[in-house]
């Protein structure tokens, strides 16, 4: 199944002053913001309150983050029946996220039937991945029938980080964005284009995460199936019972770090496994870029874990990457962007606050632009 272009509108046509409600529905969280440009007018606690605020301020559109756009929803796209059907069909690939996003779309449509809704897929940033990076070495018939490819995720966060990097380090060509949170991935960005990323056909691949295992030998999973582990049990384990949770009993990185500081053996092992995978995949991304100009760390862990940032830089120390220890210790709860580059570092190291809402709003404005003229 080839990537289709019909749901890939042109970018850059939106009015930056259009008011937008952004809905970012996760597996266990809901982030809501009403924006006027980049100014946050309100952060409602729930969707009902968000709808009331949207009506009061007169939003022109509502933007929804969806994790997986699949082979047809390739960018910010106006919601219609075909789009909803395509997104619903991807639910088995992201069972912990897609249903929440679809439920949000349906609730907003019922409450604000005259306000256009736009979906903004996390996969959009990676649509142009080079074929060598996106194509799995699996039978061609499978690839054609089921659209098997590396889709990549966290694209909204990566796009925002790249915009902030461009403003802070003009001319930087080789940017490695580390989105480190409950879900985590690395993206190699060359001249603004994704050229490699650690998540694949689904968001389970790559780094060790809060509840997901990341990369694992597929032979292990086949063996488990042959041992009688059911598909549903295996799916639940990979999505919600692996990663830090499997190693330390919690997916909360701050808690894991506190326990490791108290010499808890499970937490210490969890940090070691997490660091080992992070360092290996950072090196892979740098190799894809052919060098490194900027390492940008974002997401809840990337923004708040001094230790994980030190680990990331240490993994690239052989390439001359350094962080400033004092600046790194201060970089907790970053409001926008903080430079933690160490003296003599071969690349800039930046901590960037994740603002997926800004990218969602930009997508809404780009889609609505042609309809408003």
> What's the rounded Cα separation, in Å, for the pair 350 and 309?
10
CA 70 to chain centroid, in Å, comes to 15
* Phi and psi angles of residue 63, each rounded to the nearest 5 degrees, phi first: -110, 135
In degrees, to the nearest 5, what angle opens at C-alpha 61 toward C-alphas 56 and 62? 90
pLDDT > 50? residue 287 = yes
pLDDT > 90? residue 6 = no
* pLDDT at site 2: 40
How would residue 1 be classed by pLDDT, with cut points 50, 70 and 90?
very low
Give the residue with greater pLDDT, 8 vs 267.
267
The alpha-helical segments, DSSP class H, found in the chain are 47-57, 81-88, 98-111, 131-134, 140-146, 155-168, 218-226, 231-240, 243-248, 253-261, 265-289, 299-304, 306-315, 325-330, 356-372
Residues 6+ apart with CB under 8 A from 225: 231, 234
Catalytically active residues, by annotation: 122
How would residue 15 be classed by pLDDT, with cut points 50, 70 and 90?
low
* pLDDT at site 18: 87
Q: Across-strand partners of 194?
A: 189
Q: What is the pLDDT of residues 300-339, one digit of tens each?
A: 999 999 999 999 999 999 999 999 999 999 988 888 999 9
Average pLDDT, the chain: 93
Closest CA to 353 of 315, 309, 303, 307: 303
């Amino acid at each position: 199944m080839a990537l289709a272009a019909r749901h890939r509108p042109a970018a850059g046509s939106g009015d930056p002053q259009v008011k937008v409600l952004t809905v970012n529905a996760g597996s266990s969280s809901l982030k809501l913001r009403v924006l006027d440009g980049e100014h946050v007018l309100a952060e409602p606690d729930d969707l009902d309150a968000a709808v009331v605020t949207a009506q009061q301020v007169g939003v022109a559109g509502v933007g929804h983050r969806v994790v997986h756009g699949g082979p047809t929803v390739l960018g910010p796209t106006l919601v219609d029946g075909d789009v909803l059907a395509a997104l619903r069909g991807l639910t088995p690939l992201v069972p912990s996220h897609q249903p929440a996003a679809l439920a949000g779309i349906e609730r907003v449509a019922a409450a604000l039937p005259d306000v256009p809704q736009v979906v903004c897929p996390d996969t959009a940033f990676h649509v142009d991945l080079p074929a060598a990076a996106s194509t799995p070495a699996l039978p061609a018939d499978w690839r054609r029938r089921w659209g098997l490819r590396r889709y990549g995720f966290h694209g909204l966060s990566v796009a925002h980080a790249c915009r902030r990097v461009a403003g802070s380090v003009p001319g930087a060509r080789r940017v490695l964005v580390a989105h480190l949170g409950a879900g985590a991935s690395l993206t190699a960005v060359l001249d603004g284009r994704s050229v490699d990323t650690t998540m694949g056909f689904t968001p389970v691949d790559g780094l060790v995460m809060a509840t997901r295992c990341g990369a694992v030998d597929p032979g292990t999973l086949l063996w488990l199936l042959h041992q009688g582990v059911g598909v549903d049990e295996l799916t639940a384990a990979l999505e919600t019972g692996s990663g830090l949770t499997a190693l330390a009993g919690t997916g909360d990185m701050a808690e894991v770090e506190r326990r490791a500081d108290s010499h808890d053996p499970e937490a210490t092992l969890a940090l070691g496994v997490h660091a080992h995978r992070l360092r290996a995949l950072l090196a892979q991304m740098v190799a894809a870029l052919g060098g490194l100009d900027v390492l940008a760390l974002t997401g809840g862990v990337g923004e708040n874990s001094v230790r994980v940032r030190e680990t990331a830089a240490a993994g690239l120390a052989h390439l001359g990457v350094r962080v400033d220890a004092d600046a790194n210790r201060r970089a907790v709860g970053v409001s926008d962007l903080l430079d933690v580059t160490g003296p003599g570092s071969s690349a800039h190291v930046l901590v960037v606050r994740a603002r997926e809402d800004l990218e969602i709003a930009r997508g809404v404005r780009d889609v609505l632009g042609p309809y408003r003229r």
